Amino acid sequence: MGERKVAVVTGSNKGIGFGIVRALCQKFHGDVFLTSRDERRGRDAVHELEKEGLSPKFHQLDVTDKKSIYIIKNFLEKTYGGLDILVNNAGIMIPFHTKEEGNKVIETNYVSVVNISEALFPLLRPNARVVNVSSRLGNFTAFNMKDETKMKFANQNLTVKELTSLVWEYYNLFDCPNFNPKLYIGQFAYGVSKLGLNRLTSILQRNVSADQRQILINSCCPGYVDTDMSDHKGSLTVDQGADTPVYLALLPADEKSIAGKMVCERVVVKWDERNLQPNPQIKSMVPSMKSLS
Ligand code: NDP
């Protein structure tokens, strides 16, 4: 059992997760695990970063598969004896048309983070950082809710189990009043899953704040990023999209206030605040890898 520090990034064979692994390899003093549900895609991605002179490690992880979660848990426990950074980045947004297909969005973006937290949180070492890569569409979904529903989500005493019930209940209603009815159900599911993730973040922070580990858990929106998910329409590169998740993953030991928060491109926002304005500073904070090459 070693004391070497270790970071794990889910869904990091491409897109923002890949950018997060790249930046952590450059900035974090410890081993960085690029994980992927598909071993070949993951190993190819590791190889890409090795060509840049970086040394990420690889582990398979399908976030929707509990067995896969427990395999990486056992591996981390045996090899490192703990975990220092966990970035829950894996996510899907596919224009599903049926409710059943939309369920997959909630399962991947929300339920898997509940399962991963249950499995991996006991491993978190003092000063560990957890980042849930969410979306400002979660805030937008909350902003559009009826007041009585919002009050249920706002309850400070909610347990994770109660929140999960609320997420499914709300998703099954599909009655968000100001939501564009022409939206695909999958897009609605995406907003609900990210709203759930934002609330989950605050509950998980409350739960760990009771112990002495000084763990900080935050969710964030990376901005509109040029990836497969955005059909490459996003204006930020994956390195710029990685900026906020990495900033939160490396919050210093004396940071106290950014805890259980939702952070849109380095700016703390309320979970039900309508915040669709990108932070123009992000582009200047992180030079694009493309513009460097
Ligand atoms: P991509 O589609 O480019 O990448 C998503 C990653 O998640 C891929 O590596 C994918 O793997 C992985 N993934 C999907 N399902 C699973 C699973 N079951 N187990 C493990 N990995 C899985 O998306 P982005 O990089 O754009 O998105 C990353 C995160 O950022 C998501 O949570 C997304 O919601 C969020 N986000 C993105 C925005 C954007 O503008 N792009 C804006 C706001 C939030 P595979 O290759 O196998 O499919």
Ligand 1 contact via 41 beta carbon (within 6 Å): yes
Residue 107 pLDDT:
96
- Cα of 91 vs centre of ligand 1, distance in Å, is 4
Is the pLDDT assigned to residue 12 strictly greater than 60? yes
Is the pLDDT assigned to residue 244 strictly greater than 60? yes
Ligand 1 contact via 224 beta carbon (within 6 Å): yes
Substitution candidate for ligand 1 out of 12, 13, 16 with most atoms within 8 A of CB? 16
Ligand 1 contact via 197 beta carbon (within 6 Å): no
Q: How far apart are CA 256 and CA 55, in angstroms?
A: 31
For 130, 196, 235, 245, 246, the CA distances from 259, given in Å and listed in that order, are 10, 17, 28, 14, 15
Is the pLDDT assigned to residue 207 strictly greater than 90? yes
Mean pLDDT of the chain: 90
- Cα of 15 vs centre of ligand 1, distance in Å, is 7
Residue 144 pLDDT level (bands cut at 50, 70, 90): confident
Counting from 1 in the atom list of ligand 1, the atom nearest the Cα of 109 is 32
Report the catalytic residues: 190
pLDDT above 70: percentage of residues in the chain: 87
Ligand 1 contact via 83 beta carbon (within 6 Å): no
Residue 290 pLDDT:
46
Q: What is the mean pLDDT of residues 35-49?
A: 98
Residue 174 pLDDT:
67
Residue 235 pLDDT:
93
Substitution candidate for ligand 1 out of 8, 12, 135, 229 with most atoms within 8 A of CB? 229
Q: How far apart are CA 113 and CA 64, in angstroms?
A: 9
Residue 287 pLDDT level (bands cut at 50, 70, 90): low
Residue 182 pLDDT:
53
Ligand 1 atom 6, closest CA: 11
Ligand 1 contact via 37 beta carbon (within 6 Å): yes
Counting from 1 in the atom list of ligand 1, the atom nearest the Cα of 19 is 25
Ligand 1 contact via 234 beta carbon (within 6 Å): yes
The identity of residue 63, as a single letter, is: V
Per-residue tokens: 40: 């070949």
Residue 102 pLDDT level (bands cut at 50, 70, 90): confident
- Cα of 171 vs centre of ligand 1, distance in Å, is 21
Counting from 1 in the atom list of ligand 1, the atom nearest the Cα of 62 is 19
Residue 200 pLDDT level (bands cut at 50, 70, 90): very high
- Cα of 227 vs centre of ligand 1, distance in Å, is 9
- Whether 76 contacts 6, CB under 8 Å: yes
Pick the most confident of 176-180, 183-187, 216-220, 262-266: 216-220
Is the pLDDT assigned to residue 177 strictly greater than 50? no
Residue 282 pLDDT:
65
- Continuous H helices in the chain: 15-27, 39-51, 66-79, 99-106, 112-120, 136-143, 147-154, 160-173, 185-209, 238-241, 243-249, 281-285, 289-292
Counting from 1 in the atom list of ligand 1, the atom nearest the Cα of 14 is 9
Residue 17 pLDDT:
98
pTM of the full structure? 0.94
Q: How far apart are CA 7 and CA 21, in angstroms?
A: 9
Residue 188 pLDDT level (bands cut at 50, 70, 90): confident
Ligand 1 contact via 92 beta carbon (within 6 Å): yes
Distance of CA 76 to the CA centre of its chain: 20
Q: What is the mean pLDDT of residues 83-103?
A: 86
Counting from 1 in the atom list of ligand 1, the atom nearest the Cα of 229 is 2
Q: What is the mean pLDDT of residues 79-93?
A: 97
Nearest CA among 246, 241, 250, 230 for reference residue 279: 241
Is the pLDDT assigned to residue 281 strictly greater than 50? yes
Ligand 1 atom 34, closest CA: 91
Residue 34 pLDDT:
98
